[in-house]
Amino acid sequence: MTHEQTTGPARPPAPPLPDRPPTVAYESLAGLSARCAAWLSAERDRIEGELRAAYGKPPTAAVTEPRPAPDPVPPAAAPLIELLDRLAGLAGDPPAAAGPVLDRVRRGVVAALAASGVTPVEDTGPVDPARHHVVATRDDPSGLLSDRIAETVRPGYLWRDVLLRPQEVVSYVPYECPRHPQAEAECGRQDAR
């Protein structure tokens, strides 16, 4: 028996890792970051070239200018939104609701949010699961308002096109009669009216 028959086929030697000297044990974080960024950029260009070649489009020059990073959400948005929620909770107290101070503070917070590009979401009309969170339902005996917003519990907030918080709403649902015989008789009388 040959050596290959007892141990299996010979494996080719593993290729060395590109751009990595084997003697360097430690590398600075900045150097590692720069090397990773260069590798990712080269891989992106290679994949874009393969995709263009596969779909018959002539390859164009690789993008050399850096892509702008998306602007971060203003850091003051979350505390200001929380402050508006607390102010809305104070509105139920008779002393706080009677004075104009609370309303002036609320308007100032809304203006600060608007200055940072945050707008409130207080939609009416159909419920959109991408923008609204249904926290309760209300019967719709007419059947005309089903899946529409009955009222807003808490407003939502948008920053540019990013939803920071969905609007919390009460939604109308179709009215269904109860299932026991006495209630069905009453339901039948309501329908006959």
Q: What angle do CA 106, 110, 111 make, to 5 degrees?
A: 115
Q: Over the stretch 81-118, which tens digit does the pLDDT of each residue have?
A: 998 888 887 766 555 555 688 888 888 999 999 998 99
Tell me the per-residue pLDDT of 115-152, one tens digit each, with 9 for 90 and over.
Answer: 989 999 999 999 999 999 999 999 988 888 888 999 99
pTM score, whole prediction? 0.53
Question: Following DSSP, what letter does each residue of 81-123 receive, concatenated?
Answer: HHHHHHHHHHTTSHHHHHSHHHHHHHHHHHHHHHHTTEEEE--
Q: How far apart are the first and last CA of the chain?
A: 98
Cβ contact 139:173 at 8 Å: yes
d(CA 80, CA 20): 49
Percent of the chain with pLDDT over 90: 23
Count Cα atoms within 13 angstroms, Cβ side, for 154.
18
* HSE, side-chain direction, 13 A CA sphere, residue 111: 6
Residue 23: half-sphere exposure toward Cβ, Cα within 13 Å: 0
Q: Which of the pair, 60 or 118, is modelled with greater confidence?
A: 118
> Would the pLDDT of 64 be above 90?
no
Query: How many other CB atoms are there within 10 angstroms of residue 3's CB atom?
Result: 8
Above 70 in pLDDT, residue 57? no
Q: Are 153 and 188 in contact (CB under 8 A)?
A: no
* pLDDT level of residue 31 (50, 70, 90 thresholds): low
Q: At what angle do helices 100-115 and 77-90 cross, to 10 degrees?
A: 160
